[in-house]
Chains A and B, each alone.
Chain A
Amino acid sequence: MNTEIIIALALITPLIGAIGIFLSANTPNLRETITLLSAAVLFTFVCFLLHQTSNGQNASFRLFEVIPNLMIAFDIEPLGMLFAAIASGLWIINSLYSIGYMRGNQEENQTRFYICFAIAISSSMGIAFAGNMFTLFIFYEILTLSTYPLVTHKGTPEAKAGGRRYLGLLIGTSIGFQLIAIIWTWFLTGTLDFTPGGILSGKIEPTILPFLLALYMFGIGKAALMPFHSWLPAAMVAPTPVSALLHAVAVVKAGAFTVLKVVVYIFGIEFLSSTGASTWLIWAASFTLLASSLIALSKDNLKARLAYSTVSQLSYIVLAAALATKLSILGAGLHIVTHALGKITLFMCAGAIYVATHKTEISDMDGLGRVMPFTFIAFAIGAFSIIGLPPFAGIWSKWYMALGAANLELFMVIAVYMISSLLNVGYLMPVVARAFFKPLPQQLQASGSKSLSEAPLLCVIPLCITALGCFVLFFFANEVIDLLRPIVN
């Protein structure tokens, strides 16, 4: 079949799903079936495209001209395919989880929830396949807007306040900085196409290059570089499936992915490293990385801790992009995948704990590991992967990123990676330790541990799958690196 058509179909499938969900609002079972079905269909398409890309085939799909010489265009290339694959693949698993979670919690407005979810996935696909910065920006904004109703899903004052901050920071940075950067690039070069080797080389004074880079990096608010990170913790008021798929995978990875795209295809690695424009970014990202890990240590709310952990993990990717070496870029690409798998596992565990026990604070989770063994084992695996312990996938991405730093002989950066891994241990392991090694509190024991048990099956199975994924990917990381290699050559 024609590759272009598949690209179009991959973009449209979630939207058709959204319409189906809307029409079947009154029959929940049919509605959820449609969600799952469109997730499965989407994943099939993406797999097909992934297969094409790994065979070295390229395809592009141009929709129409918006502004003279500026098209809405879609391309497939390895990095985007990787992001698309991870987002669409985890959508299936997350949909299963959502069903368990949303029904388990008897949430309201479930139809709106599933519709917005499908639109968010569709815009993630748009970001993944975007052939130029303009298209990417459009879908970036749609992603922000379509996730706003998800963040404010509960409609409580906290949800409203969180939503305000979410929207304010994401829209503010994207219009305030990113759009300016894009128009500036367009003004300088007359093109916004993602071109291997970058488009800016020779078009801009090296002295103002750091400034343009800053507009991009802070403008991509979804990458949560400090001081524009606080939308991510604020977004944790959303139901957990949203936090899991969107705020550990789709939205934040869209940010990290955009950072990589900009560095690789707009600036160009060589241009960036030869001008040294990204030196400041190395320090900014290192700071974010360590600072947010430290904040994570201080949080008792599990989701808040995970959110700050995400902020710090995103900075790994930004830091790797700032290093602008081949190895670090490869590592950053791989980290999108490994962190996605690890973090979604952790979030789904947090959700499962909430569904089963309605506990959100880590200090309340003593001894829960005994009543919810599967959940907490999965949590441990996710945590190991994020810390970077073998045999879980997380180690490879850190390995490559650290190698990139070593190539540049930036030992400070390696030290930063090391320290942050230690901090990861510091804020993730206590959760596991408490759950397994501390006894259940007295009052819970008194009421009998029968009232406490694992979350519904639909909550537990998905998180086991992703935990397994962390393990399996350890052995297949090289495949991913091979897939990504063309982008740096």
Chain B
Amino acid sequence: MTNWLHHIPILIVAVPLISAPICVLFTFGANRKAAWLWTLLVSWFAFLCSIYLLNYVLENGQISYHLGSWKPPLGIEYRIDVINAFVLLLVSGISAIAVPFGRLVVDREIEPDRQILFYTTYLLCLTGLLGVTITGDAFNIFVFLEISSLSSYVLIAMGVRSDRRALTAAYNYLILGTIGATFFVIGLGFLYMVTGTLNIMDLSDRVTHLADNKAVHAGYAFIIIGLALKMALFPMHVWLPNSYTYAPSLISIFLAATATKVSIYVLLRFLFTVFGVSFDFIPLTLIFIFLPLAIIAIFFGSIGAIFQTNIKRLFAYSSVAQIGYIAIGIALSNTIGLTAAILHIFNHALIKGALFMAAGCLVYRVGKLTTDSIRGLGKEMPWTFSALVLAGLSLIGIPTTVGFISKWYLILGIMENGWWPLIPLIVMGSLLAVVYMWKIIEAAYFFQAPQDRVPVKEVPLELLIPLWILIGCNFYFGIQADITIGISNEAATSLLDHSP
């Protein structure tokens, strides 16, 4: 093993970080294509690194990388176990597939002179998300969270063809996101007051004896609320629908698939690694706060989605609902439930990535995204719409898709806890998904196109290939689910075992 492989944990963050300012240099010469290619290379590099890391972690157990060789808890530690290796893979994987898709849609949606800066900001966002996931230092999480958030505000504000509503969406996201992040920092401050450490492992050790400490309670509450805001758990989801709706397509794909997922990962870290179910306030929050909110989120999101006429907005509302499913899995706090949550983090990223990609294809060809404007397009854009249908089936949870696997485990986890009344609620939630997906499908296939519309062509292969790769993943991991289940299960076990 060569020496530099040891440094992959830092490289996976540092390379995107450094490549961002380098990307700015492409403005000399205004080489948009080079900027895109650069972003692509960096994404693929991160993807390869994360594959390596996941493999390594699965075989050899967790990695602890000390930045600048300063020993933790004084120095910053990057700590990689199965769960964050898995999330790393998810983030970089989605980026690796979304960026190839991005070139044409970015060309279409962003003014030429801003595209290079767009890619720069994108790289920063990627850095932030990867950093949050990989680091083992709580304050570091905050810093990276803000890097990713700030850059995503910028990216969202660019909007599809400078749609002005993107600006207000980004502004609202900025206000709420900052409040969330600040809450998180306040919470960290409280924890630091009583423990004197910011390293997650160290924090976890020291907090064990402080179960009755008021400062710990307060810190915990602040952290949970801050993260719930970032992960858009109902009723703290208000920033999400507009942001996903008006953001440029590439950003909708990337953020919908990864941003909230990374926050959920941090939440899992704090709930289970730092505190753990043995603290009696953890099960209390999970059962009395998370569970009800999750159920409301499922219904609010799904019913909200049914009433949307804008397709991206519909998907955004559906995301709110899907986060509810993940939150239920977390609230179950047994191995199967956590497995379901982690599985759904991954699976939902695949589903929503594919759906937003299909929406991106529609923006590329049609521009407007209302259910009226796609009337009769099913025949004119067969590949895009069949992908949309398949991803929709996956969202509903038809067998052989990833959505089915998540649901299977979620219900199994509920049975394990004996919370039977939840089962009909989950089922109703997925039936609502049938309703809103079918709204799109009927519009595309059963309504006649308006007479005056010019014929629409299928999108170019450059867009279709990434889309169909994601669809393929939706089915591959739905049929060969033992891979993802194995990883999620291991991650869930390690999260629960680690509870002191």
Query: Which interface class (under 10, 10 to 19, 20 to 34, 35 or more) fits B?
Result: 20 to 34
- Counting chain A CB atoms within 10 Å of each CB, the highest count among B393, B397, B408, B431 belongs to B408
Is A180 located at the chain interface by the 8 A CB criterion?
yes
**A48-87 near B? 1/0 per residue, CB < 8 Å:** 0000000000000000111110001000000000000000
**A141-180 near B? 1/0 per residue, CB < 8 Å:** 1100100000010010000100010011001100110011
Do A172 and B431 form a contact, CB below 8 Å, given A66-B481, A187-B412? yes
How far does the alpha carbon of A67 sit from the alpha carbon of B480 in the complex, in Å?
8
Do A180 and B423 form a contact, CB below 8 Å, given A66-B480, A160-B446? yes
Contact across chains for B481 and A180 when beta carbons are under 8 A apart: no
Is A412 located at the chain interface by the 8 A CB criterion?
no
Find the B residue at minimum CB distance from A144.
B398
Kindly provide the distance from the CB of B480 to the nearest chain A CB, expressed in whole angstroms.
7
Q: Provide the residues of chain A in CB contact with B486, threshold 8 Å.
A: 68
Do A187 and B416 form a contact, CB below 8 Å, given A66-B479, A66-B482, A175-B397? yes
Contact across chains for B431 and A183 when beta carbons are under 8 A apart: no
Contact across chains for A67 and B405 when beta carbons are under 8 A apart: yes
Is B163 located at the chain interface by the 8 A CB criterion?
no
Q: Provide the residues of chain B in CB contact with A137, threshold 8 Å.
A: 399
Do A164 and B438 form a contact, CB below 8 Å, given A138-B400, A145-B398, A155-B446? yes
Contact across chains for A64 and B480 when beta carbons are under 8 A apart: yes
Contact across chains for A167 and B431 when beta carbons are under 8 A apart: no
How far does the alpha carbon of A449 sit from the alpha carbon of B434 in the complex, in Å?
50
Is A184 located at the chain interface by the 8 A CB criterion?
yes
Contact of B481 among A67, A138, A160 (CB under 8 A): A67
How far does the alpha carbon of A321 sit from the alpha carbon of B322 in the complex, in Å?
39
Contact across chains for A67 and B482 when beta carbons are under 8 A apart: yes
**B381-398 near A? 1/0 per residue, CB < 8 Å:** 000000000000100111
Is A374 located at the chain interface by the 8 A CB criterion?
no
Q: Report the number of A-B residue pairs with Cβ-Cβ less than 8 Å.
A: 70
Is B170 located at the chain interface by the 8 A CB criterion?
no
Kindly provide the distance from the CB of B425 to the nearest chain A CB, expressed in whole angstroms.
11
Do A186 and B393 form a contact, CB below 8 Å, given A64-B480, A152-B446, A175-B431? no
Do A65 and B482 form a contact, CB below 8 Å, given A145-B398, A180-B423, A187-B416? yes
Find the A residue at minimum CB distance from B448.
A155
Contact across chains for A183 and B411 when beta carbons are under 8 A apart: yes
Kindly provide the distance from the CB of B447 to the nearest chain A CB, expressed in whole angstroms.
9
How far does the alpha carbon of A66 sit from the alpha carbon of B404 in the complex, in Å?
11
Kindly provide the distance from the CB of A163 to the nearest chain B CB, expressed in whole angstroms.
8
Contact across chains for A141 and B446 when beta carbons are under 8 A apart: no
Contact across chains for B408 and A67 when beta carbons are under 8 A apart: yes
State the majority secondary structure of interface residues on B.
helix
Q: Provide the residues of chain A in CB contact with B399, threshold 8 Å.
A: 134, 137-138, 141-142
Kindly provide the distance from the CB of A178 to the nearest chain B CB, expressed in whole angstroms.
11
Is B430 located at the chain interface by the 8 A CB criterion?
yes
Query: Which interface class (under 10, 10 to 19, 20 to 34, 35 or more) fits A?
Result: 20 to 34
Is B465 located at the chain interface by the 8 A CB criterion?
no
Q: Provide the residues of chain A in CB contact with B411, threshold 8 Å.
A: 179-180, 183
Kindly provide the distance from the CB of A177 to the nearest chain B CB, expressed in whole angstroms.
8
Contact across chains for A167 and B434 when beta carbons are under 8 A apart: yes
Is B11 located at the chain interface by the 8 A CB criterion?
no
Contact across chains for B408 and A183 when beta carbons are under 8 A apart: yes
Is B415 located at the chain interface by the 8 A CB criterion?
yes
How far does the alpha carbon of A380 sit from the alpha carbon of B393 in the complex, in Å?
43
Contact across chains for A168 and B482 when beta carbons are under 8 A apart: no
Is B427 located at the chain interface by the 8 A CB criterion?
yes
Is B442 located at the chain interface by the 8 A CB criterion?
yes
Contact across chains for A186 and B398 when beta carbons are under 8 A apart: no
Beta-carbon contacts under 8 Å, B405-420 to A? 405, 407-408, 411-412, 415-416
Kindly provide the distance from the CB of A220 to the nearest chain B CB, expressed in whole angstroms.
15
Q: Provide the residues of chain B in CB contact with A176, threshold 8 Å.
A: 424, 427-428, 431
Contact across chains for B485 and A67 when beta carbons are under 8 A apart: yes
How far does the alpha carbon of A66 sit from the alpha carbon of B424 in the complex, in Å?
25
Kindly provide the distance from the CB of B15 to the nearest chain A CB, expressed in whole angstroms.
36
**B200-241 near A? 1/0 per residue, CB < 8 Å:** 000000000000000000000000000000000000000000
**B125-169 near A? 1/0 per residue, CB < 8 Å:** 000000000000000000000000000000000000000000000
Beta-carbon contacts under 8 Å, B362-398 to A? 393, 396-398
Kindly provide the distance from the CB of B350 to the nearest chain A CB, expressed in whole angstroms.
16
Kindly provide the distance from the CB of B172 to the nearest chain A CB, expressed in whole angstroms.
36
Q: Provide the residues of chain A in CB contact with B416, threshold 8 Å.
A: 187
Q: Provide the residues of chain A in CB contact with B427, threshold 8 Å.
A: 175-176, 179-180
Contact across chains for A68 and B485 when beta carbons are under 8 A apart: yes
Contact of B482 among A68, A180, A187 (CB under 8 A): A68
**B470-494 near A? 1/0 per residue, CB < 8 Å:** 0000000011111001100000000
Q: Provide the residues of chain B in CB contact with A67, threshold 8 Å.
A: 405, 408, 481-482, 485
Q: Provide the residues of chain B in CB contact with A184, threshold 8 Å.
A: 415
How far does the alpha carbon of A142 sit from the alpha carbon of B478 in the complex, in Å?
14
Find the B residue at minimum CB distance from A152.
B446
- Counting chain A CB atoms within 10 Å of each CB, the highest count among B399, B442, B481 belongs to B399
Beta-carbon contacts under 8 Å, B35-82 to A? none
- Counting chain B CB atoms within 10 Å of each CB, the highest count among A72, A164, A167, A179 belongs to A179
How far does the alpha carbon of A186 sit from the alpha carbon of B408 in the complex, in Å?
10
Find the A residue at minimum CB distance from B389.
A145
How far does the alpha carbon of A355 sit from the alpha carbon of B275 in the complex, in Å?
73
Contact across chains for A168 and B434 when beta carbons are under 8 A apart: yes
Find the B residue at minimum CB distance from A187.
B415
Find the B residue at minimum CB distance from A186.
B412
Find the A residue at minimum CB distance from B400.
A138
Q: Provide the residues of chain B in CB contact with A171, threshold 8 Å.
A: 396, 398, 431, 434
Q: Provide the residues of chain A in CB contact with B396, threshold 8 Å.
A: 171, 175
Contact across chains for A167 and B423 when beta carbons are under 8 A apart: no
Contact across chains for B415 and A183 when beta carbons are under 8 A apart: yes
Q: Provide the residues of chain B in CB contact with A180, threshold 8 Å.
A: 411, 423, 427
Q: Provide the residues of chain B in CB contact with A72, threshold 8 Å.
A: 479
Kindly provide the distance from the CB of A8 to the nearest chain B CB, expressed in whole angstroms.
16
How far does the alpha carbon of A65 sit from the alpha carbon of B434 in the complex, in Å?
27
Q: Provide the residues of chain A in CB contact with B482, threshold 8 Å.
A: 65-68
How far does the alpha carbon of A333 sit from the alpha carbon of B481 in the complex, in Å?
35
Find the B residue at minimum CB distance from A155.
B446
Find the A residue at minimum CB distance from B446.
A160
Do A141 and B408 form a contact, CB below 8 Å, given A176-B427, A180-B423, A187-B416? no
Q: Provide the residues of chain A in CB contact with B424, threshold 8 Å.
A: 176
**B440-463 near A? 1/0 per residue, CB < 8 Å:** 001001100000000000000000
How far does the alpha carbon of A141 sit from the alpha carbon of B445 in the complex, in Å?
21
Q: Provide the residues of chain A in CB contact with B480, threshold 8 Å.
A: 64-66
How far does the alpha carbon of A441 sit from the alpha carbon of B398 in the complex, in Å?
51
Find the B residue at minimum CB distance from A156.
B446
Contact across chains for A160 and B442 when beta carbons are under 8 A apart: yes
Kindly provide the distance from the CB of A466 to the nearest chain B CB, expressed in whole angstroms.
33
How far does the alpha carbon of A66 sit from the alpha carbon of B482 in the complex, in Å?
6
Contact across chains for A64 and B446 when beta carbons are under 8 A apart: no
Kindly provide the distance from the CB of A170 to the nearest chain B CB, expressed in whole angstroms.
11
Do A167 and B438 form a contact, CB below 8 Å, given A176-B427, A176-B431? yes
- Counting chain B CB atoms within 10 Å of each CB, the highest count among A66, A138, A145 belongs to A66
Q: Provide the residues of chain A in CB contact with B398, threshold 8 Å.
A: 141, 145, 171
Find the A residue at minimum CB distance from B393.
A145
- Counting chain A CB atoms within 10 Å of each CB, the highest count among B393, B434, B486 belongs to B434
Q: Provide the residues of chain A in CB contact with B434, threshold 8 Å.
A: 167-168, 171-172
- Closest CB pairs A-B (n = 6): A138-B399, A187-B415, A176-B427, A183-B411, A160-B446, A65-B482
8 A-B contacts, Cβ less than 8 Å apart? Answer: A66-B405, A66-B478, A66-B479, A67-B405, A67-B408, A155-B445, A171-B431, A176-B431
Could you tell me which B residues sit within 8 Å of A by CB distance? Answer: 393, 396-400, 405, 407-408, 411-412, 415-416, 423-424, 427-428, 430-431, 434, 438, 442, 445-446, 478-482, 485-486
New A-B pairs, 9, CB < 8 Å, besides A65-B482, A179-B408: A65-B480, A68-B482, A137-B399, A164-B438, A172-B431, A175-B430, A176-B428, A180-B423, A183-B408
